[in-house]
Structure 1
Amino acid sequence: MEGNIMSKRKVKKSAILIMGIICFFIIYFISFNFFSNLGQGEGTKIVATEEKVDTRSLLNQFKSKKKIYISDGNVSNVRMEEEKVQEFQYSFNEFSKIRTPDSYTPIYEGYTDDDIKFSTDLNVFRVYTVNKEEYYKVPVSYKKEFKEILDTSIYTSFDFIKQYKTWKQVTIDYGDETKKISGWSYDDLASKMVQKRLVGKIQPEKARERCKYKFTINITSDNYEARVDIMGEDYVKITVNNLISYYEVSNNLFDYIKTDIFKIADSE
């Protein structure tokens, strides 16, 4: 009787042991498959997030940029207006690729909102990154027009003209009357200079003819003198060193000069 009981206990223990071993292997295989699939998923993600190499020329890559900043020997990091960016990039159609020149001293330099930079001496245009560079010939027949694009992009841009910390003296003319603006008011005046877009000359010139109040802002700095004609309520004409650009602007500038500077009432 006791022998039968002992035999049953041994069988029961063996069964439990076998079941334990089977469960162990089941859990092991399930865990192995789970982590293997997880690893494969992560590997797929890593491949998917690898950056694609842009095989286009640097000049063609540069044509797709929207934000461009330009400097010359006098001023630095002036952001080009959107319309000037398009005009500047369109000029690349005139260029032809050349080998690295023997000598090259840039006059203008600039960069985009990523790692592409450029420079030019008006004879050669260089576009480059840390790892690569390309040189292009600027046609002699196009040199004057190319220089004007670069100069107006700097000196008649709103980003440049609004840099009030560089202003040394500011006056505003209205007929025979001239108001000198105090230095502590420069930031107030600059804050009212809000452009909407670059425009042609016809509409602004007509607006100034029709407007009763003809104001002109005269700005003197170390490296330039700027004239900003208020062309009615919605336009301005910026003139620097015989370079001219017209902008549609917020009417806050006109209202500020009329009401705050010259104290002109609406009934006048």
Structure 2
Amino acid sequence: MGVPASAIWYVDASDPAAVLRSGGPSDLDAAAAIARQLYPGLEPKSVGTAPISAFAAVTTPRRVLVGCFPGVTVVCSAESAVVQPSTLSEQWVSRVRAERTYLLAAEAEFAWGAFAEWHGGVLRRSFSAAPSYIHEDEGLPGPWERPFWAGEHPMQYPDGVMPDPQALPFHPQEFADSASAHWLGVRMIGAAHEGEIDPLSVLLCDFMMRDPSESMPQPSAPAPEPRKVKRGLFRRKVS
């Protein structure tokens, strides 16, 4: 598999779509605090803002997009993209306290998509698949999933290309994107459907996480100066 990307949402708001639709800016200080919480020992360096649709480009280690809105926090990074969502570490699931936690992950080269849902830190549903292989399918499917399993969203193949006999009746990334639309009112991979939030309108804080010790030059040991015969001491070099 290539380099995947993911978005993890921490939600307390009863209507997260309404929060995101308001178009308010992310709180920069709160976003930096969340970044420090998820990357202990590292400091966030702000490099601007990016729309939520840019999450798929966040494949560089230590680069993170964070959005903090009233009752809704989203973190996009490569570190939380795992093939089996049920194995996601507690660092990502529970370190940021929220009533509900959602995960969306994708990787373009192999058309892999995944999603998961936790309530109070307890996994309720997780799914991860490539077009012809299911990596994980845990929990009870939600009602919104029925049209996909019923074949109402089939994968499209180029002319002359025969589908794998084991292929799923849907595209895994479209499936995952629909989970995001159902839970949050916004799609992060494909274009917005009628009535959904424009992903370009949700702006996140863009950070590079730095090790503070790496940004500070390491002082070299000063060479002793010639000994003063009269005083019998080494004079300390003044920088």
TM surpasses 0.5:
no
Question: What range describes the TM-score normalised by the shorter chain of this pair?
Answer: under 0.3
Normalized per residue, the structure richer in helix is 1
Greater RCO, 1 or 2 (C-alpha within 8 Å, sep 6+): 2
TM-score norm. by structure 1 comes to 0.22
